[in-house]
Structure 1
């Protein structure tokens, strides 16, 4: 595991690392591949904070059976506000509890795949002079991918630590990593 050179212009995004996406009983889980990356994500978060950077937790939120949301037709109900499924998974839950009062750590709601879609994320990053995003979390080929595409279109430098992202299946994982590198020009680490 390599150490990244980090600074105040860096933001680590820990995308959708919740029980519904990671735990064995989660409604839309990537399971073991997502579970084993918890410590890597926390190490990256600690390194980012130590360097003066930011840790942001964009977290999917839904209403059950919302007839106006496109995901309702695609996936089972997941990440419903106030449920066990939307709570952070495993060690990240404890890490967030310990760091949630740090001004450089915040959780943000998102209702679409991308953390930028319909949120203030771009404004929040630019107001802090952040020009580099490190993308971690799940799912590699869904929410992490769509966040990366938007980051690319907004001219952020992108890094994806491949041991800190997971997909619903290996094909999605490999496709996502390849797309980050060859189409979005992301730096792939680990």
Structure 2
């Protein structure tokens, strides 16, 4: 199990039906589904130790004319849709823990959990300096969040059993990039 101190927060990024379920609009499928047990284990460990668990979650409106992803991907994680709900047992875990002070869910509208959000301020207020990144997609939202975190001087940790992508080559490239260009601890 991961050793924790109070300066480490867990981020569960974009673990939604649209990104993970078989019927999801932009699904990682089996690779994403295989993360569920590891993410739950980490989330429970963080809660038990009174550490922060943060769930930055992609949110879109259908056919947004000014959003760049509209041209790149099919509609996904639409407001008030099944696709935007957290996947499987992660949704149940969140429902059971949402009222805890150390659980923070927020919607985001860009790949990085830091862009257009208050995440950096929230983390600094809680004296966090290390982020354990989990979720999907390794080579898109996890990568962009890691780059933002690096540029803001956070230490980055990646549990390889808790990140996945629909692109295996992109996934492997991102893992290498985390280690070799961002100085992340990979385990």
1:146-165 superposed matches below 5 A: 146-165=144-163
TM-score for both structures, normalised by structure 1:
0.97
Shift of 1:75: 0.2
| Residue range with higher mean Cα deviation, 78-87 or 41-50 | 41-50
Q: 1:106 aligns with which of 104, 107, 115?
A: 104
In structure 2, what is the equivalent of residue 140 of structure 1? 138
Cα shift readout 1:87-134 (whole Å, capped 9, x = no counterpart): 000110111111001010011110000000000000000000000000
Q: Tell me, what secondary structure is at the counterpart of 2:131?
A: strand
Q: Is the 8 A contact 1:7 1:48 kept in 2?
A: no
TM-score under structure 2 length normalisation: 0.99
Partner of 1:183: 181
- Residue 95 of structure 1 corresponds to 93
1:52 to partner: Cα distance: 2.1
* 1:85 aligned to which of 77, 83, 86: 83
Runs of 4+ in structure 1 over 6 Å off:
none
The aligned length equals 187
Equivalent-residue separation in structure 2 for 1:11 and 1:83 (angstroms): 28
Match of 1:54 in 2: 52
Mapped contact 1:7–1:52 kept (Cα < 8 A): no
Unmatched runs of 5 consecutive residues or more in structure 2 = none
* Structure 2: distance between partners of 1:73 and 1:124: 31
User: Aligned partners of 1:80 and 1:106: how far apart in 2?
Assistant: 20
Q: Secondary structure at the match of 1:163?
A: strand
Task: Provide, for residues 46-95 of structure 1, a one-character-per-residue CA deviation record: whole Å limited to 9, x for no partner.
Answer: 11122221000000000101010000000000001100000000110111
